[in-house]
C-alpha cells in the first residue's frame, strides 16, 4: 500500500504496544532486529483517542528508523477491537493544530555564568485466536486465554518477546483483556509515514495501555491527543500527570475517528516518562479546572546583550573623554 513507512503505527514501550521482531529479538529500548540482520529502531510514539463514554477509538503511530522491511508488535485492549485505517496526515494535522505558541523575549544583559542549557498456525491449547484480519499492510491476530499459552503461540508464530514483557501481558490477560498480535510487512525499506492503524473497542473509561513500558531501559517521549466531552487530565499509575500541550476545539480531521455531540474538547499531552516510574496504564479523568482553553507557550530568547555592551562602552568612552578634557583644561589654567 505505502512503500514508505518511517512512522509505524505501533505503540512501543510507553504507549502500551510492545514492538517485537518476527523471528528476531526486541531490545528494551523498543529497537528491533529483523531476521536478516537489518535494523529498525523506535523514535517516539503518539496516539489519538476519541472517547464517547462507552466506546474508545485509538489511532497510534510510532516513529521508526532503519533499513528493515518487517515488524511485529503487541497491543493489549480491554475488549474485542474493530480495526481500520486513518489518513496518512492525521498526526501532521494534529501536531500543527496543537503547536505551542512561540514568543520571543530579548535579553539585554550578558550571561556571565553558564545556564541550563507468514500466515500463522491456529491457536495452541489454552489460547483462543478469536479473529484474524488483514488490513492494509497489517496482519492482525486477536488473542485471549491463559498467559503461558499465549506466550507459546507468540513464540510459535515468530514473535520473540522478552520474559518481562510476557509477564506484563499476563497481567492484562488475567484481567480479561485481549492482545492484538500485529505483523507489518513492508514492500520496501521505510522512508516515510505509515497509514495509522485504528482500534475501536467498548470501555466505560478511557485508558491507554502503558504497563509494558515499565520494562524499557530509557525514558520515552509520548504524545497523546484525547477528544472527549470535557478537557481531561492524563495520569500514569505510579507517575505524575502528563504535561498538557493544548486544550481547546479539535481540528476537523479528528472526525475520521468519530464525532461527539456538543462542543467536545481536545486535550493534547506532550511528555517524557521514566520507565521506572510506571506501575500501570494512563487513565483519563475530567479536569477539575473545567474546559479552560490552553496552549503551551514556548519562549525563544534572542540575545541582544551586545546592545548593552555597546552602550556601556559608549558611556565609558564619553566618561574617558570628559576626564581627558577636564585634565587638559586644568593644565592650561596652571600654565
Contacting residues for 254 by C-beta, under 8 A, at least 6 apart: 48, 50, 94, 225, 227, 266
pLDDT in tens, 114-145: 444 344 455 556 789 988 999 988 899 999 99
Residue 169 is inside which H or E element, if any? helix 163-174
Predicted confidence (pLDDT) per residue in 130-186, tens digit? 889 999 888 999 999 999 999 999 989 888 888 888 898 999 999 999 999 988 776
Instruction: Report the chain's C-alpha Rg in angstroms.
Output: 27
Give the C-alpha separation, 194 to 58, whole Å: 16
To the nearest whole number, what is the mean pLDDT of the chain? 78
The terminus-to-terminus CA distance of the chain in angstroms comes to 98
Alpha helical stretches, state H, 113-160 = 147-156
What is the average pLDDT across 307-318? Answer: 73
Task: Kindly report the pTM of this predicted structure.
Answer: 0.76
Question: Is 288 in contact with 228 (CB distance < 8 Å)?
Answer: no
Amino acid at each position: 500500500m505505502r512503500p514508505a513507512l518511517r512512522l509505524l503505527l505501533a505503540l512501543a514501550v510507553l504507549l502500551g504496544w510492545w514492538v517485537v521482531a518476527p523471528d528476531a529479538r526486541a531490545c528494551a529500548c523498543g529497537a528491533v532486529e529483523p531476521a536478516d540482520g537489518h535494523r529498525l529502531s523506535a523514535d517516539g510514539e503518539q496516539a489519538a483517542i476519541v472517547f464517547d463514554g462507552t466506546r474508545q477509538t485509538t489511532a497510534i503511530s510510532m516513529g521508526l528508523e532503519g533499513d528493515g522491511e518487517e515488524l511485529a508488535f503487541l497491543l493489549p485492549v480491554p475488549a474485542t477491537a474493530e480495526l481500520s485505517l486513518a489518513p496518512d496526515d492525521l498526526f501532521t494535522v494534529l501536531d500543527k493544530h496543537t503547536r505551542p505558541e512561540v514568543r520571543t523575549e530579548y535579553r539585554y544583559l550578558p550571561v556571565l555564568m553558564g545556564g541550563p542549557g507468514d500466515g500463522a498456525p491456529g491457536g495452541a491449547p489454552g489460547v483462543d485466536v478469536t479473529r484474524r484480519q488483514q488490513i492494509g499492510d497489517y496482519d492482525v491476530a486477536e488473542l485471549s486465554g491463559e498467559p503461558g499459552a499465549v506466550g507459546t503461540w507468540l513464540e510459535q508464530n515468530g514473535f520473540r518477546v522478552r520474559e518481562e514483557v510476557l509477564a506484563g501481558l499476563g497481567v492484562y490477560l488475567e484481567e480479561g483483556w485481549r492482545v492484538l498480535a500485529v505483523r507489518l510487512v513492508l514492500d520496501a525499506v521505510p522512508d516515510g509515514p505509515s497509514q495509522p492503524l485504528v482500534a475501536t473497542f467498548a470501555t466505560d473509561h478511557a485508558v491507554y495501555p502503558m504497563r509494558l513500558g515499565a520494562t524499557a531501559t530509557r525514558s520515552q517521549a509520548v504524545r497523546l491527543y484525547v477528544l472527549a466531552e470535557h478537557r481531561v487530565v492524563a495520569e500514569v499509575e505510579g507517575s505524575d500527570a502528563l504535561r498538557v500541550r493544548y486544550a481547546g476545539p479539535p481540528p476537523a480531521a479528528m472526525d475520521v475517528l468519530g464525532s461527539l455531540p456538543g462542543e467536545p474538547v481536545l486535550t493534547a499531552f506532550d511528555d517524557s516518562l521514566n520507565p521506572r516510574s510506571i506501575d500501570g496504564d494512563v487513565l483519563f479523568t475530567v479536569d477539575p479546572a473545567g474546559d479552560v482553553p490552553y496552549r503551551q507557550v514556548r519562549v525563544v530568547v534572542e540575545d541582544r546583550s551586545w546592545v548593552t555592551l555597546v552602550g556601556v562602552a559608549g558611556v565609558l568612552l564619553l566618561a574617558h573623554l570628559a576626564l581627558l578634557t577636564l585634565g587638559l583644561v586644568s593644565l592650561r589654567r596652571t600654565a
